[in-house]
Amino acid sequence: MKTVIGLEIHTQLSTETKAFCSCKNDVYAEVNTNICPVCTGQPGALPILNDQVVEYAIRAALSLECEIHEISSFDRKNYFYPDLPKGYQITQYFHPIATNGHVDLNNGKRIRIQRIHIEEDAGKMFHSSETITEARSSLVDLNRCGIPLIEIVTEPDMEKPEEAREFMEKLRDILRTIEVSTGNMEVGALRCDANVSIRDKERSSSRVEVKNINSFKFVQRALEYEIERITEVMKNGENVPQETRGWDSLTKSTVSMRSKEAENDYRYFPEPDLPILVISKERIDRIKKELPELPDEKAEKYEKTLGVTRDNAKILAKDKTLSKYFENAVASGLSAKDTSNWIVNEVLALFNSDSTEFNHERISIDNLKKIMDYTNSSKISRLVAKEVMAEVYKSGKDPDTIVRGKNLLQVSNENELISVVKEVIAENPDTVAKYKSGKTSVLGFFVGGVMKKTKGKADPKIVGKLIKQLLDDEN
């Protein structure tokens, strides 16, 4: 059995204005307020290409290693739907702006990108029931209508649902890094349709398209479900019809939307209202130069020149604000390796436990530095450090204030610790006996006891030394 997966991805570009009119690109505005004769399809209105769309599309295409075409053009995709005011969508069907790109997965596998083209989004519909056919009434909001999209079409180079998910996440990280899209799947700024087909020795299934996948997790879940479903159908010796299915995130399953026969004939033809799009070599070169470092390049740099572990490097390089945070911390004099561990293991853990996105203001570099300094100079233990950081994260208080206020400084003064150590030894005669009989591994038990009594403030190294001294002395 061999599974073949290809993706068609739509990304909303976060330009100031819409693709073909000067309305604001803002889906959150009050319904039907960002509209004009052009995006509502009034008679006589004409599209004007927003140059920022071209700029963003080139940026994306270059980041995905595509060939940019000096000449591309626009076409009309004709179909009727109430959220499509003109009765056609302006897209690039015959001559897309870019082709032949790729993204490399972490396992080294190359996923080729067939094409990238510019198009416009449709409006948004609100039905009084689940679907338009059941609904007694439907409302249309045209704020979204005309928002620029790029469609990215991959070759069918993926074999596993995890690969599709990784591809999508990498794509999101790239789009965010180059600041062309929020890459937010949950709100539809990034959408993914997956084509899947399965082949065994004798035969192969038809291609099934899965739509409505609205999160990264569901990219994987929907494909897993669909692969299982197709495999099952094939096992039973039945035919897998070519069709479009929709992912239902409530039932965690796919449902048939339409068969191949019911597909629209979109009657593509060149858009006569827009001249061909000419992109100069100079412009491509300029944009190439202005591109920020992409996540994979950055990760490699962290690994090779800063000595950060590969896993940490990948995590830190993914997100622009995070990598900037890391780089600023290193620039402030902190050790790269140490800092990377702190950020990945401690800082990100706090955000993850809240399932919120990283925000450098919650734990400023100054505060991170202070906590790291306290720990590295053994003024507080790693355990206390975690507590302090959680407190900073929660209240935004200064670590100094927290450490002082809660009296958390590590006790490394032997005179202060000796009485506690003695106490613990006195309370555990059985364990003392074990030690004396040669079981030196129980030393940790005594250290733990002291740490508990001092609420983590004791310096474990010194405690260990003292315990050993006292027990050995008794001999």
Partner 1 sequence: MLFKKSVEGLIEAIKHRELSEEEVIEYFVKRSSKLNSKLKAFLSTCKIKKGKGFLSGIPFAIKDNMQLENMKTTCGSRILEDYGSTYTATAVQKILNMGATVLGKTNLDEFAMGSSTEYSAFFPTKNPWDVERVPGGSSGGSAAAVAAGLVPFALGSDTGGSVRQPASFCGIVGYKPTYGLVSRYGLSAFASSLDQIGPLTKTVRDAAIIGKTIMGIDPNDATTVDKKIDLIDKIESNVEGMRLAVPVEFMKDLNQNVKNTFKKFIEDVKRLGVEVEEVPIPSLKYAVAVYYVIAPAEASSNLSRYDGIRYGLRVEEDSVAGIYNQTRDKGFGSEVKRRIMLGTFTLSAAYYDAYFDKAQKVRTKIKSEMDEVLESYDAIVGPTTPVTAFKFGEISNPLDYYLQDIYTIPANLAGLPSVSVPMGLIDNLPIGVQITSKRFEDAKVLRIARSYEKIRGEFPMPIGGELK
**Contacting residues toward Zn ion, per CB under 5 A:** 21, 23, 36, 38-39
Which pairing describes strands 208-213 and 243-248: parallel, antiparallel, or unpaired?
parallel
**Cβ-contact 295, 177 below 8 angstroms:** yes
Residue with tokens 């596993």: 160
Report helix, strand or coil for 277.
strand
Nearest approach, Cβ of 392 to partner 1 (angstroms)?
53
Residue with tokens 């003695």: 422
180-209 binders of partner 1 (CB under 8 A): none
Residue 436 to residue 332: CA distance in whole angstroms? 49
The partner in contact with residue 39, picked from Zn ion, partner 1, none with C-beta cut-offs of 5 to 8 angstroms by kind, is: Zn ion
Q: How many residues bind partner 1 (CB under 8 A)?
A: 31
Nearest approach, Cβ of 399 to partner 1 (angstroms)?
57
Determine, following the binding rule CB under 8 A, whether residue 78 of this chain makes contact with partner 1.
yes
Nearest approach, Cβ of 39 to Zn ion (angstroms)?
3
Nearest approach, Cβ of 129 to partner 1 (angstroms)?
13
Determine, following the binding rule CB under 8 A, whether residue 462 of this chain makes contact with partner 1.
no
Residue 223 to residue 247: CA distance in whole angstroms? 9
The partner in contact with residue 45, picked from Zn ion, partner 1, none with C-beta cut-offs of 5 to 8 angstroms by kind, is: partner 1
Report helix, strand or coil for 375.
helix
The partner in contact with residue 40, picked from Zn ion, partner 1, none with C-beta cut-offs of 5 to 8 angstroms by kind, is: partner 1
The partner in contact with residue 137, picked from Zn ion, partner 1, none with C-beta cut-offs of 5 to 8 angstroms by kind, is: none
**Cβ-contact 275, 54 below 8 angstroms:** no
Q: Taking contact as CB under 8 A, which single stretch among the options 273-281, 334-342, 399-407, 424-432 is the one that binds partner 1?
A: 273-281
Nearest approach, Cβ of 37 to Zn ion (angstroms)?
7
Cβ-based nearer residue to partner 1, 122 or 363: 122
**Cβ-contact 118, 148 below 8 angstroms:** yes
Nearest approach, Cβ of 144 to partner 1 (angstroms)?
15
Determine, following the binding rule CB under 8 A, whether residue 170 of this chain makes contact with partner 1.
no
Site string for partner 1, 114-133 (x = CB under 8 A): ------------------xx
Residue 85 to residue 138: CA distance in whole angstroms? 15
Sorted by sequence, the CB contacts under 8 Å of residue 185 that are 6+ apart come out as 168, 172, 191, 192, 213, 214, 215, 216
- The correct pick among 1, 51, 87, 232 for binding partner 1 (CB under 8 A) is 87
Residue 87 to residue 67: CA distance in whole angstroms? 31
Nearest approach, Cβ of 90 to partner 1 (angstroms)?
11
The partner in contact with residue 47, picked from partner 1, Zn ion, none with C-beta cut-offs of 5 to 8 angstroms by kind, is: partner 1
Residue 103 to residue 353: CA distance in whole angstroms? 30
The partner in contact with residue 304, picked from Zn ion, partner 1, none with C-beta cut-offs of 5 to 8 angstroms by kind, is: none
Residue 390 to residue 400: CA distance in whole angstroms? 14
The residues that bridge with 77 in the sheet, in sequence order, are: 89
Cβ-based nearer residue to Zn ion, 145 or 420: 145
Cβ-based nearer residue to partner 1, 45 or 365: 45
Determine, following the binding rule CB under 8 A, whether residue 291 of this chain makes contact with partner 1.
no
| CB burial string 428-452: b at 16+ within 10 A, e below | beebbeebeeeeeebbeebbebbbe
- The correct pick among 110, 235, 260, 267 for binding partner 1 (CB under 8 A) is 267
The partner in contact with residue 446, picked from partner 1, Zn ion, none with C-beta cut-offs of 5 to 8 angstroms by kind, is: none
Q: What is the DSSP string of 38-89?
A: TTTT-TT------HHHHHHHHHHHHHTTPEEPSEE--EEEE---TT-TTSEE
The partner in contact with residue 101, picked from Zn ion, partner 1, none with C-beta cut-offs of 5 to 8 angstroms by kind, is: none
- The correct pick among 4, 31, 45, 365 for binding partner 1 (CB under 8 A) is 45
Cβ-based nearer residue to Zn ion, 21 or 196: 21
Q: Taking contact as CB under 8 A, which single stretch among the options 43-51, 216-224, 248-256, 451-459 is the one that binds partner 1?
A: 43-51
In one-letter notation, the amino acid at residue 275 is P
Determine, following the binding rule CB under 8 A, whether residue 269 of this chain makes contact with partner 1.
yes
420 torsion bin: left (phi>0), alpha (psi -120 to 50), beta (else): alpha
**Cβ-contact 142, 39 below 8 angstroms:** yes
Residue 163 to residue 200: CA distance in whole angstroms? 20
Residue 126 to residue 132: CA distance in whole angstroms? 9
Residue 192 to residue 168: CA distance in whole angstroms? 8
- The correct pick among 76, 172, 318, 370 for binding partner 1 (CB under 8 A) is 76
Determine, following the binding rule CB under 8 A, whether residue 274 of this chain makes contact with partner 1.
yes
The partner in contact with residue 237, picked from Zn ion, partner 1, none with C-beta cut-offs of 5 to 8 angstroms by kind, is: none
Q: List interacting residues with partner 1 (CB under 8 A).
A: 37, 40-49, 76, 78, 80, 82, 85-88, 132-133, 138, 140, 265, 267-269, 272-275
